[in-house]
Structure 1
Amino acid sequence: MTIKAILTDIEGTTSAVSFVFDVLFPYAKQHLPEFVREHAAEPDVAAQLQAVRDDSAEPDASIERVIEILLQWIAEDRKATPLKALQGMVWQQGYQAGQLKGHVYPDAVEALKNWHQAGYALYVYSSGSIQAQKLIFGCSEAGDLSGLFSGYFDTTSGHKRDQASYRSITSKIGQPAEAILFLSDIVEELDAAQLAGMATCALVRDGGALEGHPNFSSFAAIEPSAF
């Protein structure tokens, strides 16, 4: 079946892993405590803080204890939805202040623009919150790329190594699974997408190979019509 939609991961795929670990995570770690203290009473923030209490089974945790839990989750690189949501809020402030610029590989920028122009519907699926995804592309070093995308998916659609997540996303995109091409640098994610019926493409920017999937070192070499 002809590919109609392209679903892409971010970290290690469109963007450098180092940007996330060396820029975004340290920024969130530095600024999150102050952000939580200043905005704890706001409904959107309060809801996420309550979710932290629920997830950690500490219903009466104080604001300072919640901050402590969040910093521990950052240290563990835990894919916790309330942490991702709060990080996204902190990063938004950083992007708006001009302190952060989203990294997107030049080959990814060019390919995404070409695919969009060619009529492919483009989507993002990342463990980072939808808000954080929009910020990376909307405030990128290459300018505002947000207009290229038809939708975004995060862990609220399920974990990235679970095929059920890809079935859910397929339903939301509204295309048959075999008409969707998924791009990632993680073989377990590619395996899950493949089991859900999607076409898959592995990004191996640093060399090596991900078994069971076509491998590419750059977006420039990917031709969606070949899948």
Structure 2
Amino acid sequence: MNMILWEGISHVLLDIEGTTCPVSYVTETLFPYASANLAPYLETHQQEANIRALVQELETLWQQDTDQEAKDLLGHSRQSAELVCVGGILPYLRLLIRRDRKVTPLKDLQGKIWADGYARGELVGPLFDDVPTSLRRWQQEGLVLAVYSSGSIAAQQLIYQHSNHGDLRSLFSHWFDTHTGSKHKPSSYTLIAETMGCSPQAILFVSDSDSELQAASQGGLQVVCSQRESDKLQGLNTYPSINTFHQIQLKLQHEQA
């Protein structure tokens, strides 16, 4: 096993898909679950103020969407007068899920649907086996752990609360989603460093996405590519890569003296 030494690190920022759990869990389990439960969830909760606000925001996005399929769906909904009811937006939501569009209000809505699924025991977060032991070791060594994912913070916490290794939420000090900014923009990572009260260079960001690693690197963070054999890999020739967290060896910032 090849070990990689990272120096001057005080914070570890982790992606989720392809980094701490399989990409397939999101694409083959979470997305289909959300899509299948959109109608009953909206029917049950459509009178709640926060749900109505999310639906209204999504309707506005739909009206502004330049995607041709989205336009066609909108035209059909207008002709059939479906848009005036909550159920009328379902075709657009399913389109967004199918395309894996990083739309913040959709992520918020999905998180609420998944919360019901986790509570009923229908969903369990399948973390890679090396993740829990590594997280505990890093925390015991004094590192600050954080999550940055395109999924909502609520959805992130659900995966770690209802994981196959128990509730691991207490290991993390910070949670970030697209409310902070796009994962493909360096400014998002600069803001994360400011929020955590550390220099960008003191953060090690772990992700399986080349574009995210590039943005984080441009923002001043140290980066490593998560190369999990079961997942579609990106950026393996650009950045140092690992296929298990056990390969990451950290020399903390306060050890530099």
Q: TM-score range by the shorter chain?
A: over 0.9
Tell me if the contact between 1:7 and 1:183 (Cα under 8 Å) persists in the aligned partners.
yes
Quote the Cα distance in structure 2 between the aligned partners of 1:51 and 1:208.
33
Please report the TM-score for the alignment, with normalisation by the length of structure 2: 0.84
1:142-153 equivalence runs, <5 A:
142-153=165-176
Aligned AA for 1:5? H
- Indicate whether 1:89 and 2:95 are aligned: no
Aligned AA for 1:184? S
Tell me if the contact between 2:208 and 2:234 (Cα under 8 Å) persists in the aligned partners.
no
Match for residue 114 of structure 1 among 137, 146, 150: 137
Quote the Cα distance in structure 2 between the aligned partners of 1:65 and 1:154.
28
What corresponds to 1:191 in structure 2? 214
- Indicate whether 1:40 and 2:63 are aligned: no
Aligned AA for 2:37? H
1:83–1:156 Cα change, 3 Å:
same
- How far has the Cα of 1:172 moved from its partner? 0.8
What corresponds to 1:52 in structure 2? 58
Query: CA RMSD for the aligned pairs?
Result: 1.8
After superposing on structure 2, the runs of 4+ consecutive aligned residues of structure 1 that deviate more than 4 Å are 58-61
Ranges in structure 1 where 5+ consecutive residues have no aligned partner: none
Quote the Cα distance in structure 1 between the aligned partners of 2:106 and 2:84.
15
1:185–1:226 Cα change, 3 Å:
farther
- How far has the Cα of 1:57 moved from its partner? 2.0
When Rg is computed on C-alpha atoms for both structures, the one with the higher figure is 2
The aligned length equals 227
Aligned AA for 2:238? G
Please report the TM-score for the alignment, with normalisation by the length of structure 1: 0.95
Aligned AA for 1:38? T
Aligned AA for 1:108? V
Aligned AA for 2:241? N
- How far has the Cα of 1:209 moved from its partner? 5.7
1:61–1:205 Cα change, 3 Å:
same
% same residue: 39
What corresponds to 1:8 in structure 2? 14
